[in-house]
Amino acid sequence: MAKLCVIGTGYVGLVTGTCFADLGHRVTCLDIDENRINMLKNGLMPIYEPGLKQIVDQNVEAGRLDFTTSYPEALKGSEFAFIAVGTPSSEDGEADMQYVKSAATSIAKNLDHPTIIVNKSTVPVGTGDWVAEIIHDLNGQVTPKFSVVSNPEFLREGSAVNDFMKPDRVVLGSTDLQAANKVAELYEALRTEIMITDLRTAEMIKYASNAFLATRISFINEMANICETLGADVREVARGMGLDRRIGPAFLDAGLGWGGSCFPKDVKALAHMAVTHDTHPQLLQAVMDINLNQRRHAVNKLDKALGGLQGRTIGVLGLSFKPNTDDTRHSPSLDIIKMLLAEGAVVQAYDPQAMKASKAVVPALELCQNPYEVAQDADALLLATEWNEFKFLDFDQIKTNMRGKVILDGRNIWDGEELQRKGFLYFGMGIPGSK
Ligand code: UGA
């Protein structure tokens, strides 16, 4: 059992801290946001993440997990201090490091015993060295021994708890092998592959992994668009490709493109790092362009199917960037809705978790209570996020409620032939007849 603290209670910090507590460690989670900490102290979750509340409650009750806004309290007796704060990106993609800097500075000011500082935030390559410098510069000769270890996270929103407990690998980077081995011990119970490398390589593994996954999705979306023009079915193409063990089936679902707080930020940041070091990130640029075009492509399909968007009512199912989250950051659904509104359409939508957040970003959006209300008097229905509750709908009821008959299945989850038989004009992404 180790004592550790986690700085930042966003997706990464809260899930990491809670899961470490669940593995038997003693964890204090710190956030400078008092509201957040008060919510957590009162058993309320600041984010929607399946399964998280239950294990937070269990571990608080067991006395292994608590919350604070005080650095001295969090660092007291902690052998490890995890930094898991946000690194939002600026317009040109450069990561905003103010929160990492302030966490490192606060650690430095309160460091009174040997501590291993573990960086979990996704940070530009070289940040580990920079954090070490900040702590040295502030404390000079009197600094108690400390080491910096990079430990990138590979958690997906919506399945973060499961991803923590059943990782494909744990990556650790440090110049101090002893410190990296100590962090490795924290993960021992997970019985997973633990890779130890140098700091910069560990930081790069995170960017390269996200960029590669984003590349796979943009690749299959480009294939989908080619399939549409050639009359092939991208779902079958992806299946046929995925059966090749060198390729594998994951992340080959064509659709409206990728969103969220990670891929857009990380691909852009990696491209920015490359450019600022005189490298031309050709592929990354194309991956981002294809992703943005995919939203426009969906709007064009609706435009063509309806013979214009001005004054049309479009019902949209799903607002979050993917299912099982309330996160709407860079959501393809919201981007498409903004384009539809700009073209003069009326948009009515429903999402199981992300309605409030969406209305705040797109005030002109009309919210509905369920999919059938979304269909009411709609000229077209767009499936934008593949929540489970949208998979099996009563399409006879939807047909009765709709004014028009156009369906754009942006995530290819429905049986197009059956919907055609019911009298809908069905379009998918990369499916024959969907151009
Ligand atoms: C992603 C990575 O998958 C995690 O490994 C990583 O830790 C995380 O970013 C991060 O850097 O923090 P996440 O953003 O939660 O996780 O979401 P994903 O499940 O990876 O999906 C990203 C986007 O790709 C979603 O918009 C999703 O709809 C889209 N997607 C995914 C597709 O369009 N097609 C696919 O086949 C798969």
Q: What tens digit of pLDDT does each residue of 295-351 get?
A: 999 999 999 999 999 999 999 999 999 999 999 999 999 999 999 999 999 999 999
Does the structure show a pLDDT above 70 at 39? yes
pLDDT for res 143: 66
pLDDT at residue 141 is higher than 80? no
Of 126-130, 158-162, 363-367, 405-409, the poorest mean pLDDT is in 126-130
* Tokens read off for 26: 């003693």
pLDDT, one tens digit per residue, over 239-252 is 999 999 999 999 99
Bridge partners for 348 per DSSP: 315, 366
Cα(422) to ligand 1 centroid in Å equals: 34
How many other CB atoms are found less than 10 A from the CB of residue 1? Answer: 7
Task: Read off the pTM.
Answer: 0.95
**Residue to probe by mutation, ligand 1, list 16, 48, 157, 292, most atoms within 8 Å of CB:** 157
d(C-alpha 375, C-alpha 351), whole Å? 13
Residues with CB under 6 A from ligand 1: 122, 153-157, 210, 213, 217, 251-253, 255, 258-260, 262-263, 266, 321-322
pLDDT for res 138: 78
142 pLDDT tier (thresholds 50, 70, 90): low
Paired strand residues for 146: 115
Among protein residues, the one with the nearest Cα to ligand 1's atom 19 is 156
Query: What is the token pair recorded at 129?
Result: 């060295």
pLDDT band with cut points at 50, 70 and 90 for residue 91 = confident
- For the chain, give the number of residues: 435
Average pLDDT, the chain: 95
Mean per-residue pLDDT, 224-240: 97
Ramachandran region of residue 39, left (φ > 0), alpha (ψ -120 to 50) or beta?
A: alpha
Rounded to 5 degrees, what angle do the CA atoms 93, 95, 97 make?
160
Structural domains present in the chain: 3-197 (3.40.50.720), 212-427 (3.40.50.720)
Q: Which two tokens stand for residue 104?
A: 């490192």
Cβ-based neighbour number of residue 387 at 10 Å: 23
Summarize the chain as % helix, strand, coil (round to 5): 45, 15, 40
Q: Catalytic amino acids? A: 262
Q: Given a cut of 90, is residue 434 above it in pLDDT?
A: no
Q: Which of 49, 210, 235, 239 to mutate to test the pocket of ligand 1 (most atoms within 8 A of CB)?
A: 210
Give per-residue pLDDT as tens, 151-175. Answer: 999 999 999 999 999 999 999 999 9
Mean pLDDT, rounded, for 373-398:
98
Distance 170 CA to ligand 1 centre (A): 18
